[in-house]
């Protein structure tokens, strides 16, 4: 698929912008701070309802404006569909598909699929576990948008269970305060087991692509892999770390058993200590964990390898290419990595590339070029 048209109103630095793209490669070149990333951020937002740079919506709306609008015309198999988002910080966002409003913004998920690589992705390797959880869960949703619902449900249940545990900690009659805990235990176990199951299957499917992508980017044979480090009880966690994917029912039973073991600690800390929100993805290069061991260049290649692997997996699953966005990636790569990456992405249906210096982008990838100067985007 590809984005043929993009309209921005009061998005980031853009008061209004109307951009036409073709399939193939488009490059956005301009000095720092001119608005290149803002454009690809808008496209990423249209696909995932979240920004790769900020957790809140407020910074996405132009300073002084009330709301931002992002509208894209997406072409898939020759058919065009319009997707529109109205970003209203502090209020409910709204969305349209074609001409019709949808009930919830997340109903537009799937209309546009993107894989976006940006300098922020270094945090996938070097940052907190939450970064890697988000990578996996975002990919889950990109692959099958219905997981957005399960993710939302899980967060709600987790909040309620945490609130209950926190109240119980200081309640005069602890047993009475914990009377409804078993209900939340079973909700959390049921949704949590499904999420973990989906993550494990996703990891299993992603691994082969990751190994290839890392080796292709780095021209090495470093055996890049991901292992799942679970918060479920030890024996089950060991199975998951070994790459086994048990049935959902077994995972659900695993929750019950782990809750028993952790009951006292959970009440003492007033926090849920079991579940997908406490699980970790450990990235490894050969025998060593990437975090804390990999060099800067290796970390960069690993992060890029994860995104390329995600792209390949989605391409394989969807039967169409997601839009590939490479934000500021070439400046960080040595000549060999640049050349190899250029070869890898040459056959993608649409690739959007930003760069401060156009010499950094391999010549074979220049494609349709735009210059970006103070929020003004022109065909070069």
Residues that bind Mg ion (CB under 5 A): 37
- Per the DSSP assignment, residues forming a β-bridge with 117 are 326
Out of ligand ATP, Mg ion, none, which partner does residue 62 contact, by CB within 5 to 8 A per kind? ligand ATP
SS3 40: helix
H runs (alpha helix) in the chain? 36-48, 122-126, 129-143, 147-170, 174-177, 181-218, 234-241, 248-269, 296-318, 335-345
Out of Mg ion, ligand ATP, none, which partner does residue 59 contact, by CB within 5 to 8 A per kind? ligand ATP
SS3 243: coil
Q: Is 271 annotated as a binding residue?
A: no
Whole-number minimum distance, CB 116 to ligand ATP, in Å? 13
Return the half-sphere exposure (C-beta side, CA atoms, 13 A cut-off) of residue 263.
11
Which position among 5, 339, 356, 371 is part of the footprint of ligand ATP (CB under 6 A)? 356
Q: Which residues, at least 6 apart from 78, have a Cβ–Cβ distance to it below 8 Å?
A: none
CB 73 within 8 A of CB 95: no
Does 63 engage in binding with ligand ATP (CB under 6 A)? yes
Any idea what DSSP says for residue 10? E
Q: What is the largest CA-CA distance in the chain?
A: 72
CA–CA dist 350, 129 (Å, integer): 31
For residues 218 and 354, which CB has a smaller minimum distance to ligand ATP in the complex?
A: 354
Which position among 4, 5, 13, 317 is part of the footprint of ligand ATP (CB under 6 A)? 13
Burial of 295 (0-12, 13-18, 19+ CB in 10 A): exposed
CA–CA dist 330, 30 (Å, integer): 14
For residues 245 and 361, which CB has a smaller minimum distance to Mg ion in the complex?
A: 361
- Per the DSSP assignment, residues forming a β-bridge with 83 are 72, 97
Q: Is 32 annotated as a binding residue?
A: yes
Whole-number minimum distance, CB 233 to ligand ATP, in Å? 45
Single out the segment in contact with ligand ATP by CB under 6 A; choices: 60-68, 78-86, 208-216, 217-225. 60-68
Distance of CA 168 to CAs 23, 269, 270, Å? 57, 10, 8
Does 36 engage in binding with ligand ATP (CB under 6 A)? yes
Whole-number minimum distance, CB 29 to ligand ATP, in Å? 9
Single out the segment in contact with ligand ATP by CB under 6 A; choices: 58-66, 157-165, 176-184, 309-317. 58-66
Whole-number minimum distance, CB 357 to ligand ATP, in Å? 9
Out of Mg ion, ligand ATP, none, which partner does residue 110 contact, by CB within 5 to 8 A per kind? none
Whole-number minimum distance, CB 119 to Mg ion, in Å? 8
Cβ-based neighbour number of residue 227 at 10 Å: 17
Whole-number minimum distance, CB 58 to ligand ATP, in Å? 8
Whole-number minimum distance, CB 30 to ligand ATP, in Å? 5
By residue count, the chain amounts to 380
CB 10 within 8 A of CB 65: yes
Q: Is 81 annotated as a binding residue?
A: no
Which position among 12, 106, 132, 277 is part of the footprint of ligand ATP (CB under 6 A)? 12
Q: Is 36 annotated as a binding residue?
A: yes
Binding site residues for ATP, as ranges? 30-37
Interface residue list for ligand ATP (CB under 6 A): 12-13, 30, 32-38, 59, 61-63, 328, 354, 356, 372
């Amino acid at each position: 698929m590809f984005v043929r048209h993009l309209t921005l109103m009061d998005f980031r630095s853009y008061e209004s912008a109307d951009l036409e793209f073709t399939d193939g490669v488009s490059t956005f070149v301009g000095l720092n701070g001119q608005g290149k990333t803002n454009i690809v951020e808008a496209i990423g937002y249209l696909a995932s309802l979240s920004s790769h740079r900020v957790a809140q919506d407020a910074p996405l709306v132009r300073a002084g404006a009330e709301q931002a609008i992002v509208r894209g015309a997406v072409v898939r198999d020759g058919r065009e569909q319009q997707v529109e988002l109205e970003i209203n910080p502090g209020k409910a966002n709204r969305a349209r598909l074609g001409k019709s409003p949808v009930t919830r913004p997340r109903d537009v998920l799937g209309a546009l699929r993107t894989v976006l690589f940006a300098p922020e992705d270094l945090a996938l390797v070097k940052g907190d576990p939450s970064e890697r959880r988000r990578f996996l869960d975002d990919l889950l949703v990109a692959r099958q948008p219905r997981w957005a619902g399960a993710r939302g449900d899980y967060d709600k249940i987790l909040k309620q269970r945490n609130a209950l545990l926190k109240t119980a900690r200081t309640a005069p009659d602890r047993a009475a305060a914990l009377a409804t805990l078993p209900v939340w235990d079973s909700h959390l176990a049921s949704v949590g087991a499904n999420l973990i199951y989906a993550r494990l299957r996703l990891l299993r499917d992603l691994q082969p692509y990751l190994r290839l992508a890392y080796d292709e980017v780095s021209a090495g044979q470093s055996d890049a892999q991901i292992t799942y480090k679970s918060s479920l009880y030890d024996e089950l966690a060991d199975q998951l770390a070994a790459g086994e994917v048990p049935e959902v029912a077994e995972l659900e039973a695993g929750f019950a058993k782990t809750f028993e073991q952790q009951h006292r600690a959970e009440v003492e800390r007033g926090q849920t200590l079991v579940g997908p929100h406490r699980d970790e993805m450990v990235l490894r290069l050969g025998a060593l964990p990437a975090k804390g061991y990999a060099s800067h260049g290796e970390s960069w290649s690993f992060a890029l390898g994860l995104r390329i692997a995600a792209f390949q997996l989605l391409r394989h699953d969807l039967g169409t290419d997601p839009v590939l966005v490479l934000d500021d990636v070439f400046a960080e790569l040595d000549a060999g990595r640049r050349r190899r990456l250029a070869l890898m992405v040459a056959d993608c249906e649409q690739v959007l590339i930003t760069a401060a210096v156009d010499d950094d982008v391999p010549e074979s990838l220049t494609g349709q070029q735009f210059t970006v100067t103070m929020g003004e985007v022109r065909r070069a």
